[in-house]
Amino acid sequence: MGGGRWGAAAVRRRLGHSARVRVIRLLLVTSLPWTLALGAFVILSAVVPVTVLAAMGQVVGRVPAAARAGLGSPAGHGLIAALVVSMAAYAVTLVLGPTQTAIASAVKVRLTYAMQDRLVAAVSRPAGIAHLEDAAALDELELAHGQLTAYYPADAPTTLAVVIGNRLSGLVACGVLGVYRWWLGLGMLALWLLVRRPLRKVVYEQAQAFGRTAGLMRRARYLQQLAVKPGTAKESRVFGFGDWLIERYREQWTLGMATAWQMLRRYNIGVTRLGGVVLAGYVAATSVIAYGAYHHQMTLATLATLLPMLVASAEVGDISWNDVALEWQLTALPNLEALESRLDPPRTAVHSRRIELPAGAPEHELRFESVAFRYPGARSDVFTRLDLSIPAGRSTAIVGLNGAGKTTLVKLLTGLHDPTAGRITVDGVDLSTTDAEGWQRRVAVVFQDFVRYPTTAADNVGFGAVEHICDRSAITAAAQRAGARDLVEVLPKGWDTVLSRQYKDGVDLSGGQWQRVALARALMAVDHGARLLALDEPTAWLDVRGEAEFFASFLELTAGLTTVIISHRFSTVRQAERICVLENGEALEIGTHEDLMTQGGRYAQMFSAQASRFDQELRG
């Protein structure tokens, strides 16, 4: 009894984890009517083709008697009845193709939306972006999309229906053979099941092996996109490395497909070896039928029915292109579910007891306490033991050589990454114990690689406080403070102008103009509750006049805010109330501009070097 229960449980677990069962379950959840329609298609595609063959066999068998007795005789009536059945069944087969196309289109649209919705929800759920910089997670994401293989998971239900229909059709054909000789039908069934198992295993392993080369295929796809994107096309043509891109694409694609091709060779070898077994089986089955016909042990109708049934019985175990496509299509589901599971872990008691920060936080300070950090897959730490205090309501500038971790510090501060060691506190509260999304609503940031959204100018500013995106007065006020209002209001459609040349009547902006829009977006967030303003190279795209205007308004823009500013331009840095020099993963120097210049340390060296270059440019 116990063994039986364990066996049943094992079967249920196996079914629950089966990709075929999961795709059916997904279709059921998405649309019950279309699931029923697909089920009806399976039944028809299984029964109707065999019915056509059987009816045609009866037609052939009744022709001699009808020819002798005439169509008005009982034999003639039987022939006409057989013809009507065969024609009706054949007419249904003609409809099956268009029906499959219609069902496939409807199912694909619904499943594509459902799966894309789940993917977007999964990758958008974490407050941080570590998973979007993790090679393994990106491989899973691409495989879940089906982009790397061009076998899309939304096609799996229809392909599965075709495969099941074919196998059932072959099973019915074996049943018809079994009516004549039970062991003949059973023998053909056993033969094809014996052949199918090893071949399907190779097809399955081929599809699974492809997942292990997803990184190579993702690089190949990236190189392919570089070859056709307008942005890259400018440099590839000027510098003449277009052919190099194509060659690298071919190289990566070939490496990525090597395992799949190796499996395909195994499949072909298996087909060749098993072909002899199938041939012997068919010779034996045909001999049995031929012997019966020769010795008048069957009628002409029976002979005409059994011979095509031998061919039709192959469907029960033959590996068709649909079987191959199905295995590749089904590989996406485990990747989708793995992403969902990893990016949305079960809620724990600790997770449900997040600390709610006061409305005015930070009121005292932000502090990095022995913080270490390493990017996913990196070989070394960005920070090893960072201790840094950022006073609330004041401006702090972060300087250092390239690679010192300045932008990474902002990512940690805004909750886009979590420290690998140590902690970050807000007024003494560990940031990891607070609601990450709630904290991010208190942050306004202009990243060095700020986003240029291909939507209206109003949206580009309004995204800073999306719940107020329809408030044009607030958008205009933020743009005014950032120096972006005048440049927007002279656009063809003003605030309704789409900021992208890829759309009709769209307009692109210069780098400096885009930076003003990005700053306006951050100020929109500040106007609606953000208390921390982070500026990463805020004047990098501005001309001399724009930079001077920014300096003049810097104190006004940041008044009362906790501001973190990163810049290589020391004319910007010296505006800050405190300056921190990052080096070797630690805060090397901290103080005001005057204090650090008096100390004569690293900051003084960098400032003097930049001032010297500036003087030389003026003299030149």
DSSP letter string over 326-339?
A: HHHHHTHHHHHHHH
Q: Enumerate residues 6+ apart whose C-beta is below 8 A from 385.
A: 370, 371, 372, 422, 585, 586
Beta-bridged to residue 532, according to DSSP, are 443, 562
Q: Which two tokens stand for residue 479?
A: 């743009």
Q: Is the peptide bond before 64 cis (omega within 30 degrees of 0)?
A: no
In angstroms, the CA 23 to CA 334 distance is 10
Which residues of the chain have a pLDDT value below 50? 1-17, 347-352, 617-618
The separation between CA 393 and the C-alpha centre of its own chain, rounded to angstroms, equals 41
Note if the pTM is more than 0.75: no
Q: With DSSP H G I counted as helix, E B as strand and the rest as coil, what are the percentages for the chain, rounded to 5?
A: 70, 10, 25
pLDDT of residue 132: 82
Q: What are the distances in angstroms from CA 106 to CA 31, 101, 138, 251, 411?
A: 10, 9, 29, 38, 43
pLDDT for residue 613:
65
pLDDT of residue 245: 84
Which pLDDT value is given to residue 317? 84
- The span from the first CA to the last CA of the chain, in angstroms, equals 95
pLDDT score, position 616: 54
Q: Which residues, including other chains, have CB under 8 Å from residue 179's CB and lie 6 or more apart?
A: 185
Residues 6+ apart with CB under 8 A from 355: 429, 433, 434, 435
Please tell me the distance from the alpha carbon of residue 476 to that of residue 461, in angstroms, as a whole number: 9
What six digits make up the tokens of 148?
């790397």
Residue 392 sits at the vertex; the CA angle it makes with 363 and 483, to the nearest 5 degrees, is 115
Distance CA 106, CA 41 (A): 14
pLDDT at position 126, please?
Answer: 83
User: Rounded to whole angstroms, how far apart are CA atoms 8 and 11?
Assistant: 5
- Residue pair 388/587 in contact (Cβ under 8 Å)? The answer is yes
Backbone φ, ψ for residue 435 (5° rounding): -75, 115
Q: What is the dihedral of CA 318, 324, 325, 330, to 10 degrees?
A: 110
Ramachandran angles phi, psi of 96, nearest 5°: -60, -40
* Residue-level pLDDT at 31: 84
pLDDT in tens, 131-171: 888 877 888 787 777 777 777 788 888 888 889 998 999 99
Of 218, 161, 196, 197, the residue nearest 45 (C-alpha) = 161
pLDDT tens, residue by residue, 182-214: 899 899 999 888 888 888 888 888 777 777 777
Q: What is the structure's pLDDT at 353? A: 54
Structural domains of the chain, with CATH:
16-343 (1.20.1560.10), 362-442+531-620 (3.40.50.300), 450-529 (3.40.50.300)
Instruction: Tokens for 24, please give them.
Output: 């059916």
Q: Are 442 and 361 in contact (CB under 8 A)?
A: yes
Quick one: which of 599, 602, 550, 559 has its CA closest to 577? 559
Residues 6+ apart with CB under 8 A from 610: 569, 570
Q: What is the C-alpha to C-alpha distance for residues 288 and 591, in angstroms, rounded to an integer?
A: 98
